[in-house]
């Protein structure tokens, strides 16, 4: 029998924790909960969950700082930020500091479950990243080892979040092919719907460029085809 995937929910509103826990357990996930940022960070370190649902406004330590701390430690666990505001700033800040996704409160359980499933499924899909038999992709000083998930630039290892890694390996697996933001949302994020979420793609591309490009403002690896989308430069 397949091992249960574990979701850690870090949220100070107990009623939200309870209903999310109920729904996740019904879908077959194991659920851990923490009610403030510090406890969330401790549980994330100790229990090594498969996904974290992370509220922003938390006692003791805000969600952004929890996510930052995990990324600084090299954790690539998928993080979905639960933001209370409709505003763009929380979403963009969340993505900038390394979250994989966000969902705005109040959210429907159906949407939350879809996001959890999409983000966890991506983890499972890592075993089948495009690479067509080759265990490594090397181009322009960039090296991607598809077996160990290690990415390095000029020999120096680079820490990528899981989403950044998947976006990179997806594009690098189809060099020269241009993908629209909607395509990438579907292929890399596994979303069947898009709406305003395509902005997520731009933020993730920008962050990825900051990590892998010699000159992020003048990229040579992940290129923009204006008005169309993004593509990997290699051959
Ligand atoms: Ca809160």
Tens digits of residue pLDDT in 46-79: 999 999 999 999 999 999 999 999 988 888 889 9
Judge whether residue 209 has pLDDT over 60.
yes
- In whole angstroms, give the CA distance from residue 18 to residue 33: 9
Whether 66 and 37 have beta carbons less than 8 Å apart is answered as yes
Q: CA–CA distance from 33 to each of 3, 29, 49, 73, 89 (Å)?
A: 19, 13, 11, 21, 26
Q: What value does the mean pLDDT of the chain take?
A: 86
Give the Å distance between the CA of 181 and the centre of ligand 1: 31
157: which 2 tokens? 């290892």
- In whole angstroms, give the CA distance from residue 174 to residue 151: 17
Cβ-based neighbours of 105, under 8 Å, separated by 6 or more: 16, 82, 83, 84
Give the Å distance between the CA of 12 and the centre of ligand 1: 5
The pLDDT value given to residue 127: 42
pLDDT digits (tens, 9 = 90+) for 181-192: 988 988 887 766
Which residues are close to ligand 1, an ion, with C-beta < 5 A? 12, 55, 57
**Where on the phi/psi map is residue 48: left (φ > 0), alpha (ψ -120 to 50), or beta?**
left
Give the Å distance between the CA of 107 and the centre of ligand 1: 14
Give the Å distance between the CA of 91 and the centre of ligand 1: 15
Selected residue with higher pLDDT from 139 and 19: 19
**Would you place residue 206 in the very low, low, confident or very high pLDDT band (cuts 50, 70, 90)?**
very high
Give the Å distance between the CA of 1 and the centre of ligand 1: 36
The pLDDT value given to residue 129: 45
- In whole angstroms, give the CA distance from residue 18 to residue 24: 10
Give the Å distance between the CA of 72 and the centre of ligand 1: 23
Whether 169 and 146 have beta carbons less than 8 Å apart is answered as yes
The pLDDT value given to residue 132: 44
The pLDDT value given to residue 83: 84
The pLDDT value given to residue 131: 44
Give the Å distance between the CA of 66 and the centre of ligand 1: 13
Judge whether residue 88 has pLDDT over 70.
no
Average pLDDT over residues 127-141: 61
Give the Å distance between the CA of 9 and the centre of ligand 1: 12
The pLDDT value given to residue 21: 96
Average pLDDT over residues 117-136: 59
Give the Å distance between the CA of 31 and the centre of ligand 1: 18
pLDDT digits (tens, 9 = 90+) for 141-182: 898 888 788 899 988 999 888 889 989 999 998 888 999 998
For a pLDDT cut of 70, what percent of the chain falls above it? 87
pTM above 0.75, yes or no: no
Of 66, 13, 78, 6, the closest CA to residue 42 belongs to 66
Give the Å distance between the CA of 124 and the centre of ligand 1: 30
At residue 2, what are phi and psi to the nearest 5 degrees? -65, 140
């Amino acid at each position: 029998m397949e091992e249960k995937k574990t979701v850690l929910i870090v949220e100070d509103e107990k009623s939200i924790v309870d209903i999310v826990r109920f729904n996740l357990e019904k879908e077959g996930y194991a659920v851990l909960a923490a009610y403030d940022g510090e406890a969330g960070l401790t549980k994330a370190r100790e229990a090594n969950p498969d996904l974290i649902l992370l509220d922003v406004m938390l006692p003791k330590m805000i969600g952004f700082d929890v996510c930052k701390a995990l990324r600084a430690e090299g954790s690539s666990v998928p993080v979905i930020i639960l933001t209370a505001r409709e505003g763009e700033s929380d979403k963009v800040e969340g993505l900038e500091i390394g979250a994989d996704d966000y969902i705005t409160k109040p959210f429907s359980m159906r949407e939350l479950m879809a996001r959890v499933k999409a983000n966890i499924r991506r983890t499972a899909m890592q075993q089948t990243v495009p690479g067509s038999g080759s265990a490594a992709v090397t181009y322009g000083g960039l090296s991607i080892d598809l077996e160990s998930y290690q990415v390095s630039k000029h020999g120096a290892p680079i820490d990528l979040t899981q989403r950044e890694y998947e976006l990179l390996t997806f594009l690098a697996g189809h060099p020269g092919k241009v993908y629209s933001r909607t395509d990438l949302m579907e292929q890399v994020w596994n979303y069947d719907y898009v709406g305003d979420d395509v902005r997520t793609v731009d933020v993730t591309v920008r962050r990825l460029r900051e990590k892998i490009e010699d000159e992020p403002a003048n990229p040579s690896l992940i290129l923009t085809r204006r008005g169309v989308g993004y593509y990997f430069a290699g051959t």
